Amino acid sequence: MVNNPTVKEFINQNAIKEVKLHLGCGGVKYPDFINIDLYPSNPEIKDGSRSFCVADVYCDIRNLDLEPESVDEIFLSHVLEHFVKWEAQDALKNWYTILKKGASLIIETPDLLRCVLMLFHFQKKYRKNARSQFYGNQTDRLEYETHRYVWDARELKRELLSIGFSRVTVTHKPKTHKKFRDMRVIAAK
């Protein structure tokens, strides 16, 4: 990476007024978001968990160096489960700090209890979809693609409320990945 701006630099360089962050974007680029990831693609290294990486900024999303109350929206899909519980808790606090009052955090992630239920589904495809979520990618030898802690809906809601978020809603109709197995959690600061 020859020229990798920080998030602050990217905001300034592009004169971004409404700051929307897409964290752990992998190969998914949303045009009206700043797409952030830590691990660039390497065509020589197989990563079956994503198709390339198309980030605008490469940095660690667990502790974003942005001013408090400077961000309008944060979205992440299939990323939270890559962190151990305490890392996720710290990250959620960091994201709470940088969000503006009233702004939303949107998380899509597998729901542990739905995965447990699906493990006993009579159809193999559902059992397979559930099983893959417990430990993530265990074949490509990539530390960052393994899953370390899968949350359940009630636990994640409680955590968000304890940090200070309000109006926390949970559905199992995510806009990305798998309906029923995954949850879409929206929390307001």
Ligand X SMILES: C[S@@+](CC[C@H](N)C(=O)[O-])C[C@H]1O[C@@H](n2cnc3c(N)ncnc32)[C@H](O)[C@@H]1O
Which residues sit at the interface with ligand X, rule CB under 6 A? 24-26, 28, 37-39, 49-50, 53, 60-62, 77-79, 82, 144, 176
Q: Which is nearer to ligand X, 4 or 176 (CB)?
A: 176
Nearer residue to ligand X within complex by CB, 26 or 107: 26
Using CA atoms, how far residue 84 sits from 2, 90, 145, 148, in Å, is 31, 10, 13, 5
Name the minimum Å distance from CB 143 to ligand X.
9
User: Are 81 and 112 in contact, with CB atoms under 8 Å apart?
Assistant: no
Taking the least distance from each CB to ligand X, the nearer of 49 and 129 is 49
Put the strands of the sheet holding 57-58 in their side by side order: 57-58, 34-37, 20-23, 71-77, 99-110, 182-188, 166-171
CB of 38 to ligand X, least distance (A): 3
Question: Which residue has its beta carbon closest to ligand X?
Answer: 26
Smallest gap, in angstroms, from Cβ of residue 54 to ligand X? 10
DSSP state of 63: G
Helix (H, G, I), strand (E, B) or coil at 36: strand
Six token digits for residue 15 = 């004169």
Least distance from C-beta 79 to ligand X, angstroms?
4
Smaller CB distance to ligand X: residue 139 or 166?
Answer: 139
